[in-house]
Structure formats: structure tokens, C-alpha cells
Amino acid sequence: MVKEERTLIIIKPDALQRNLMGEIIGRFERKGLKIVGMKMIQLEDVLLDEHYCQHKGKPFFESLKKFMKSAPVTAVVLSGINAIKATRLIVGSTKGYEADAGTIRGDLSVSGQANIVHASDSPESAELEIKRFFNSGEIFEYKKADYEFVYGEEERGEML
Ligand code: CMP
């Protein structure tokens, strides 16, 4: 079996308040990505300062933290071949009002801040971010029943 990539998404407080959690998780499920970890978390300053350290000092930083603490978030680890790129494409560009239609942000958000979901942007950040939010015992390995129908033989490394 070919090694699958893992990536992290965080379903933000606006999605919870707007009853969009099932819609969001469903989009990743329908794409063929596998959920290997999922939990609700009440974020606090220490974790947010670390997670958003590249935005420290920007005018929206404190407001972003306040928003991310306003209700629990749901952190999800997704797994799949090329999962990081596939997830970023489904999520869409940062600002909802300019994200492509068909993406989560393009379809469900008109905001730069309340943009529904965060997704890791590279293999390096995915690894760091997954470790930030999950212990190894909270991530599961299993084979999904639809694996042979989600990927082709060559992608699965099963070509003779
Ligand atoms: P995210 O992908 O989680 O990464 C950083 C977050 O900062 C981003 O999504 C938005 O929620 C938020 N953000 C980015 N730019 C702005 C902005 N100009 N004003 C307010 N919030 C922003």
C-alpha cells in the first residue's frame, strides 16, 4: 500500500454556530479522504499563540484569537494520497469573498476572518500542526472499504 499523507483541518467557531459542521466533514468524506482523527477543542491563548505565530503583530491578530476562542473548534486529521493538496483545493483561498465557487470558503463564507476552516498548507506544517493538536493515540490506522474505488491501481502501488 502506498504511503498516505496526513493533513489537519480545524473547523472554526463560525461553522459550528452556522450549523455547517456536517456539510464540511461531508465534503471531505465525499472527496474520498479518510478521517483518522477528530475531536472538539476549546482553544486558549497558549495554543493559539503557537498556531498563529506568523500572524503575531498583525492588526487582526487579537481579533482572530478572540474569534477562535468564541466557541469550540473541531480538529480533524485527514489521510489520503496527496491529501494536503486535495484538502487545500477543497478549502479554497483565505478570504471567503474571493475564494473560488465550489470551494468550502467560496460557497459558505464572505469573510476574511470567519472563513469556516483552517487547513495545513504544506507537508511540514501538516506534521507540526497534527502534533500540536493530537497525541499519537488519538490518530487511527485502518483500511477503508472503498480504497480500491477511491484510487487507481498505479496510485495504490499495485501495478504488476
Ligand atoms: P487561516 O487559514 O486559519 O489562517 C490565518 C487566519 O487569519 C485566516 O485563516 C483567517 O481566519 C484570519 N485572517 C487572515 N487575514 C485576515 C484579515 N485580513 N482580517 C482578519 N482575519 C484574517
111 CB near ligand 1 (under 6 Å) = no
What is the CA(2)–ligand 1 centre distance, in A? 34
* Domain 5-156 superfamily per CATH: Nucleoside diphosphate kinase-like domain (3.30.70.141)
Neighbouring-strand partners of residue 11: 74, 117
The tens-digit pLDDT sequence of the chain (160 residues) is 678 999 999 999 999 999 999 999 999 999 999 999 999 999 999 999 999 999 999 999 999 999 999 999 999 999 999 999 999 999 999 999 999 999 999 999 999 999 999 999 999 999 999 999 999 999 999 999 999 999 999 999 998 7
Q: Which amino acid is at 56?
A: K
Distance 121 CA to ligand 1 centre (A): 13
How far is it, in rounded angstroms, from Cα 96 to Cα 77?
23
Question: What is the spatial distance between Cα 18 and Cα 118, in angstroms, rounded to a whole number?
Answer: 16
| Other Cβ atoms closer than 10 A to 53 | 10
Question: Is 72 close to ligand 1, i.e. is its CB under 6 Å away?
Answer: no
Residue of minimum CA distance from atom 3 in ligand 1: 118
Q: Take residue 101 and report the three cell numbers written for it.
A: 465557487
Of 22, 13, 33, the closest CA to residue 73 belongs to: 13
Residue nearest to atom 22 of ligand 1 (CA): 113
Nearest-atom number in ligand 1 for the CA of 91 is 2
pTM: 0.96
Interval between CA 6 and ligand 1 midpoint (Å): 22
d(CA 45, CA 24): 25
Q: Where are the domains of the chain?
A: 5-156
